[in-house]
Amino acid sequence: MNKAVVLPIGSEVVSGSVVDTNSKFIAWELSRLSFEVLSHHAVRDRAPVIREVLEQSLAVADLVIVTGGLGPTFDDITKRVLADFFGRPLKFNARQYARIRRYFHLRQAKPRAFSREQATFPSGGRIFDNNFGVAPGIGLERDGKWVIALPGVPREMEGMFREEVLPFLKERFKMRACRLGLEAKVVGIHEVDVLRRLGKKFPPRDPNVECGIYPSTGEVTLRMTFCGGAQKELAGRRREWMRTLETRLGKHLVGFSDEPLEKTLGLLLARKRQSASVAESVTGGLIAKRMTDIEGSSRYVKGGVVVYSDEAKERVLGVPAPMLKKFGAVSSEVAKDMARRVREKFGCHWGVSTTGWAGAARPQKKEPIGTVFVGLSSKRGSLSRRFRFFGGREKVRWLASQAALAWLREKLLYG
């Protein structure tokens, strides 16, 4: 089996000021290609350290994927280090310079002073076009082993990997063992509940199946990798497990991908030709942000309001003052009324609302900190659910948004 090492470069990654999502993406994609990913090494922008780790990585791996350090600033040294490490001088590439100039021209901007420098590459290397930004990728080979350097910007890196690197790897590396992955996203239950529902069947006692369960805030991800057989056989085993997960996890299974819940919900709304609007108190616009972060969300998101105070609930939505006084803002009655009124205000199929206590200030004594009511309204009526979340302010707000999105998805699928 071909072996690989992932090498993110950047002092900001090592210090923790930037979350390294690139390594997760690359490792998963390489695993799907039948590479055994040996390790991730985050390295500061220091030439001696980068050279040392490159040497160590190539001693054990057939492929090293580097991310970061291809930009124009003083600390972007990856290209120069690679040229020195492989003993290949930097050489100007007219084709890439034309691509960079076209990138700025399409944005009605002049090429910057560093543009020509960004069109220089170690001689004899493989250049990977960047259709998502300025800095191209670089591939260099030594003794049959490859180092591929990509930009550190996740959007650019992911796009380039799919369009440029993936076909290259399939062509250059012979996959000596078939591997097939399965990823399942679960919401609404904790990892212990997931395992309880799956029972003794998971993980399977099979050395040719690698399993993992990964909890995060508001969701759980299951990963399985099948190996040791023909592609057709592995595909059959994968389908069998997909049916098992669907049966055992039911409505809590969002899907078999790493897509965020809001994207899965958006695709569902679009497919059903339905729309939604949101009225948010405790979540402060987080639900609207998550939904509208998805490209094409204007097809199904009609609008939203943040009504944080009682006064805003009255003046913007028309929630009656007597209702607020009698039940309190954090209540089932107010949540349902908010959802109904925002649905009617924007003339859509669904209204979603949140109201609750996320922080220390709690003038109302009826409900403890962490209590959230989610309202959901359609022409068939209005409902609410009470949740109790634990953790800091931001965690409560995130969990509340997750609960609202998950409930709307559940209603769309199961009524």
Per residue in 361-411, pLDDT (tens digit) is 555 557 788 999 999 999 999 999 999 999 999 999 999 999 999 999 999
Give the closest residue to 4 by CA, choosing from 37, 29, 33.
37
105 and 89, same structural domain?
A: yes
314 and 291, same structural domain?
A: yes
CATH number, domain with residue 385: 3.90.950.20
164 and 50, same structural domain?
A: yes
Tokens describing residue 172: 């250059």
Rounded Cα gap, residues 278 and 284, in angstroms: 11
282 and 390, same structural domain?
A: yes
Element (H, E) at 410: helix 393-414
Task: Say what the pLDDT of residue 23 is.
Answer: 95
Residue 199 in this model has a pLDDT that exceeds 80? yes
335 and 305, same structural domain?
A: yes
- Per-residue buried b or exposed e for 281-318, using 16+ beta carbons within 10 Å of the residue's own CB: bbbbbbbbebbbebeebeebbbebbbbbebeebeebbe
Range of the domain at 146: 3-172
- Confidence tier at 18 by pLDDT (50, 70, 90): confident
Q: Which of 255, 285, 303 is the last residue of a domain?
A: 255
Q: Which amino acid is at 22?
A: N
168 and 69, same structural domain?
A: yes
Q: For residue 185, what are the β-bridge partners?
A: 221, 255
Count up the domains in the chain and report the number: 3
Task: Say what the pLDDT of residue 109 is.
Answer: 75
Task: Say what the pLDDT of residue 116 is.
Answer: 76
Peptide bond into 203 cis (omega under 30): yes
194 and 266, same structural domain?
A: no
Task: Say what the pLDDT of residue 382 is.
Answer: 97
User: pTM score, two decimals?
Assistant: 0.73
Rounded Cα gap, residues 249 and 258, in angstroms: 17
Q: For residue 212, what are the β-bridge partners?
A: 223
- Per-residue buried b or exposed e for 342-366, using 16+ beta carbons within 10 Å of the residue's own CB: bbebbebbbbbbbbbbbeeeeeeee
Per residue in 91-147, pLDDT (tens digit) is 988 888 888 888 887 777 776 666 777 888 999 999 999 988 888 999 999 999 999
Task: Say what the pLDDT of residue 361 is.
Answer: 59
Element (H, E) at 341: helix 332-346
Q: Mean pLDDT, to the nearest integer, of 5-12?
A: 94
113 and 217, same structural domain?
A: no
Please, what is the average pLDDT of the chain?
A: 91
15 and 157, same structural domain?
A: yes
Q: Mean pLDDT, to the nearest integer, of 206-219?
A: 89
Q: Is the Cα dihedral 320, 281, 356, 400 positive or negative? A: positive
162 and 58, same structural domain?
A: yes
Task: Say what the pLDDT of residue 256 is.
Answer: 93
Per residue in 290-339, pLDDT (tens digit) is 999 999 999 999 999 999 999 999 999 999 999 999 999 999 999 999 99
Q: For residue 279, what are the β-bridge partners?
A: 305, 353
CATH number, domain with residue 248: 3.30.70.2860
Residue 150 in this model has a pLDDT that exceeds 60? yes
- Confidence tier at 70 by pLDDT (50, 70, 90): confident
Q: What are phi and psi of 108, to 5 degrees?
A: 55, 45
Tokens describing residue 390: 């634990």
Give the closest residue to 254 by CA, choosing from 83, 27, 35, 409.
409
222 and 153, same structural domain?
A: no
Per residue in 25-47, pLDDT (tens digit) is 999 889 878 788 999 999 999 99
Tokens describing residue 312: 């805003």
Q: Give the DSSP letter of residue 316.
A: I
Q: Which of 124, 140, 172 is the last residue of a domain?
A: 172
Rounded Cα gap, residues 78 and 21, in angstroms: 19
Task: Say what the pLDDT of residue 146 is.
Answer: 96
Give the closest residue to 342 by CA, choosing from 315, 317, 320.
317
CATH number, domain with residue 88: 3.40.980.10
Q: Which of 172, 190, 216 is the last residue of a domain?
A: 172
Task: Say what the pLDDT of residue 178 is.
Answer: 67
Q: For residue 252, what are the β-bridge partners?
A: none
140 and 65, same structural domain?
A: yes
